[in-house]
Amino acid sequence: MIALIGSFQLVLFMMRLTIIGFGNQAKAWSQNLQDSAFPFRVALQPDSASFDKVVELGMETVEIGSKEFFEDRAFVLLTPDDTHHSFMTTYGQLFHEGSLILYNHGFSLSKNNFQETLPHLKHILFAVKAIGSEIRKQYLSKGQFGAVYSLEFVKGGTDAIETWIRKMAKDLGVNIGLFKTTFLHETQADLYSEQGLLCSLIPYTAGEMFQHLVESGIEPELAYLEVWHEMKLIAIAMVDKGPEGFFDLISPNALVGSEKGFQKLITPEFKSNLRSLLTDIQSNKFNQELENTNVEELRKTIRSRWSDSSLMKTFNIMKAKEENEKT
């Protein structure tokens, strides 16, 4: 019995991961796992334009829905979240009993309750906290990024699965964590950070400030360096030093200015608006708003908002200069 458990654990430890999709996350995951010699293959829709590229990279491919596709026992769903429901409705019943289905974000399971509709599968959260391009970049530069996981819907065999996940995380380049959470917590924290800070306040405040500077006669190159490029360097210092260390580092002018900005901008109204974003996420109001939104139309609108902006034009000029200087 001990030998049997031992060999089962060994098989699980060596188990191949099928990466479904070849988009932002999947490209980075597959390249990192390839470099770390972790066993994986890439599953694509029969008409996917990515087949040639994946083969060119020397990776194994499989067609989603083919007989070979269902032979494996571990899958990660790296397609857009809004495709998960139809994917699981079409294929969910066809996976072997006990197959591991990994989700890189808790959103689709929290919304669709796959653990109830497909109870023969082991639904696992394994969420990497970085955008795809950074997962690859940080791996290559031996930088840092984190991940969280949840085995809350797995009954039995969790130790062996956790060992496999930890090995996969290490080979993927995760070196902060793994931290345990739940699908729901990851979903709420992720949506809130996108809405309140990462994808709203940061880019839009920078955009507004760039506009103000340029309209008042400041050279666009200087405005770009101040509000866009330096943001990256400041963020690195904040993350490296922590909030206390960061405020110890900044100059007296910056310190006094920071306090003025804090008092003027972070008003009770701002705080209340910020908190309301979380309330809307937790009450499912945001989910309803999402359902009523044509995402492709919205993407077009936002893209044209930025493509017409002087910040975008300056960004393109600065990038071209950077490229010229490299050569």
Ligand X SMILES: NC(=O)c1ccc[n+]([C@@H]2O[C@H](COP(=O)([O-])OP(=O)(O)OC[C@H]3O[C@@H](n4cnc5c(N)ncnc54)[C@H](OP(=O)(O)O)[C@@H]3O)[C@@H](O)[C@H]2O)c1
Give the residues lining the site for ligand X (CB under 6 A): 21-26, 44-45, 48-50, 64, 78-81, 83, 87, 104-105, 131-132
Q: What angle do CA 125, 126, 130 make, to 5 degrees?
A: 130
The residue of the chain with the least Cβ separation from ligand X equals: 23
Least Å distance between CB 327 and ligand X?
Answer: 29
> Could you tell me the two tokens for 234?
């400041």
Nearer to ligand X, 140 or 255 (CB): 140
Nearer to ligand X, 78 or 118 (CB): 78
Least Å distance between CB 229 and ligand X?
Answer: 21
The DSSP secondary structure of 15-36, one letter per residue, reads: PPEEEE--SHHHHHHHHHHHHT
| Cα radius of gyration (the chain) | 23
Nearer to ligand X, 12 or 171 (CB): 171
Q: 282-290 long-range contacts, Cβ below 8 Å, gap at least 24?
A: 282/188, 286/191, 286/195, 287/111
CB 150 within 8 A of CB 127: no
207 contacts: CB under 8 Å, gap ≥ 6: 306, 309, 311
Nearer to ligand X, 91 or 247 (CB): 91
What whole-number distance in Å separates Cα of residue 327 and Cα of residue 325?
5
Least Å distance between CB 185 and ligand X?
Answer: 15
What whole-number distance in Å separates Cα of residue 150 and Cα of residue 51?
31
Nearer to ligand X, 198 or 237 (CB): 198
Least Å distance between CB 29 and ligand X?
Answer: 9
Least Å distance between CB 201 and ligand X?
Answer: 18
Q: Facing residues of 74 across strands?
A: 100
Nearer to ligand X, 21 or 173 (CB): 21
What is the 3-state secondary structure of 34-79?
A: HHCCCCEEEEECCCCCCHHHHHHCCCCEEECCCCHHHHCCEEEECC
Least Å distance between CB 35 and ligand X?
Answer: 19
Nearer to ligand X, 273 or 284 (CB): 284
Least Å distance between CB 176 and ligand X?
Answer: 15
